[in-house]
Amino acid sequence: MNVESEYVNEDLFGLEDEDIGEEINSRTNVTSISSRGSNRGGSGGRTFSSKKPRQKGPMDYFFTPNAEMVVQNRRSRKMNQTTINDTYKKEARERACMLITR
């Protein structure tokens, strides 16, 4: 009865022993490549895992800015992030200038 169940399982999944062996080998190759990482400096034998590439989702594809515009805005400093302190510093500077000029 045990022999029949093996045939049934192979028929259900459409796999043979060779296919299963190839699948296991391909999985071990992928894990061994990704677990190696890169060795920096050579001293101490440390290995550092490489950084995963950023995965783009559907919103990234929809809202991705034009590369030329990004470069142009960086050069003209339009894309700098402002903080709340910037606004307060600007107001304080204006008050100080007004008081000095009086």
**Residue pLDDT, tens place only, 47-102:** 677 888 888 888 877 877 788 888 888 787 766 777 888 888 999 999 999 999 98
| Residue carrying the six token digits 């919103």 | 59
pLDDT tens profile 56-66: 888 877 877 78
Residue 43, amino acid = S
Check: CB of residue 40 under 8 Å from CB of residue 48.
Answer: yes
**Torsion-angle region of residue 65: left (phi > 0), alpha (psi -120 to 50) or beta?**
beta
Q: Is the pTM of this model over 0.75?
A: no
- Residues contacting 38, CB < 8 A, separation 6+: 47, 48, 49, 50
Question: Where do the structural domains in the chain lie, given as residue ranges?
Answer: 61-101
